[in-house]
Amino acid sequence: MKTRITEMLGIDFPVIAAPMFLVSNPELVAAVSEAGGLGTFPALNYRKPEQFEEGLKVVNSLTDKPYGVNIITNKSNIYQEQHLEICIRNKVPVIITSLGSPRQVIEEAHKIGTKVFCDVTNLDYAKKVESLGADAVVAVGYGAGGHAGKIVGSVLVPWLVENLKIPVIAAGGIADGKTLLSALALGAEAGYMGTRFIACNETAVNEEYKKSILESDPEDIVFTARVTGAHANFINTPYLERLGTELGFFERFWTRFSFTRKWFKMYKGYRAMKGMGESASTGKKKAWKDVWSAGQTVGLIKDTKPAAEILAEVVREYSEAKKKLP
C-alpha cells in the first residue's frame, strides 16, 4: 500500500485518523500512529495554548511515530500564531490547516522540515495552496464529518488529481477497506477517516455519542451552517431538529456583507465550540442540546473496538476487496 503519502511520512498504511474537535485525544493519536497510520488532533482541543503544549508532550510520550496537528488559520482562532509557535518548537511532523490561508504555516513549518497538508473543497483554493508550497491537499468532499464541501468525493478527488502535482488525500465517505480502495482508485494517495474512529475504545466522548454513531444511518446526517456559521455535517439530534437547518432572517442578514459575515462566523464558531464541548464530554451531557459531529459513513459503522483493530480491519478489507476486482 505504498503511496507518495506513506513514503513522505514513513508510515505503513495510507490511513489518516482525521483531527476531530473534542474527540481526537493523545491516546487515539498514538494508537493510530503506532498501528501504522497517521494519528492527528486539533490544537483547539485544548482551551489554552499551554495546555496544548502539554498535550503534545503526552502524545510524544506515547509514540515516536509521525503524527499531525490541525490548526485553524482564520481569525476565529485567536491562538493560531501561538499554536504554530508551539508546533514549531516541538517539531510536530505534520500540520494540517483549515478554514484560512496557510501561507505563514507553510513558511515556518518548512524551515524545520515539517510537512503541511491543507483542507480544500474546490480546485481554485487547491491550486492556491499548492502555489504556496503545501505538501498535500485534503479533499474534503460532501458527506464528511464536520466542515465539508459541496462536491462529492468521487468527483472532487479525480478533479484535483488531474489538476495538481502534489498528493491528494480523500476525506469524506471512508470508513472501511472498500471505501479506502475506492478513494485510492480515484487517485487519492491516502484516506481520511474520522467518524469511524469516534466509535473506538480510545476516545473519551460520552457513550451516548458513540451509541448514536452506531445507530445512525446516512439519512440521519444533516448538512447545515446554523451550528458554526459554515456548512458542516452533524447527527440530526432533537436539538438540531428544533434549531432547523436553514439560516434565519437575521442570520441571513449578517452573512450578506463580508465584514459582518466574518464576525458572525466568529460568534457562531465560539458558541458551537462551547456547545459541542458540553455535548461530547463525559459527565456534561445535556440531552436537550446535543450537537454531535459525524459524517455519512455512520451507516457503515456497527461496533466499537480499539483503534489498532480498526486499522488492521481496514487493511484486511482493502486487500480482500482488491482481490475481488475483475
Model pLDDT for residues 263-274, shown as the tens digit of each residue = 555 545 555 555
Which residues, in sequence order, are CB contacts of 217 under 8 Å at separation 6+? 298, 299
Q: Which has more pLDDT, 287 or 266?
A: 266
Are the C-beta atoms of residues 139 and 170 closer than 8 Å to each other?
yes
Cα dist from 312 to 15, 195, 220, whole Å: 11, 17, 28
Cell of residue 60, nine digits: 510524544
Give residue 288's pLDDT: 40
CA distance 60 to 252: 45
Q: Residue-wise over 81-120: b if at least 16 C-beta within 10 A, else e?
A: ebbbebbbebebbbbbbbbbebebbbebbeeeebbbbbbb
Residue 240 confidence (pLDDT) above 80: no
Residue 249 confidence (pLDDT) above 80: no
Give residue 248's pLDDT: 56
3-state helix, strand, coil in the chain (%, to 5): 50, 15, 35
Q: What is the pLDDT of residues 125-157, one digit of tens each?
A: 999 999 999 999 999 999 998 888 999 999 999
Residue 262 confidence (pLDDT) above 70: no
Which residues, in sequence order, are CB contacts of 316 under 8 Å at separation 6+? 177
CA distance 67 to 139: 19
Q: What is the pLDDT of residues 67-112, one digit of tens each?
A: 999 999 987 788 999 999 999 999 999 999 998 899 999 999 999 9
Average pLDDT estimate for 174-196? 97
Domain ranges of the chain: 4-204+303-321, 207-297
Give residue 121's pLDDT: 95
User: What percentage of residues in the chain have a pLDDT greater than 70?
Assistant: 85
Average pLDDT estimate for 273-284? 51
Mean of all residue pLDDT scores within the chain: 88
CATH of domain 4-204+303-321: 3.20.20.70
Cα dist from 76 to 42, 56, 273, whole Å: 14, 22, 11
The overall pTM is greater than 0.85: yes
Q: Which has more pLDDT, 78 or 316?
A: 316
Residue 279 confidence (pLDDT) above 70: no
Q: What is the pLDDT of residues 196-223, one digit of tens each?
A: 999 999 998 888 899 999 999 999 999 9
Average pLDDT estimate for 1-8? 95
Q: Find the range with the poorest average confidence among 140-149, 183-192, 274-283.
A: 274-283
In terms of Cβ atoms closer than 10 Å to its own Cβ (0-12, 13-18, 19+), residue 157 is buried
CA distance 169 to 15: 9
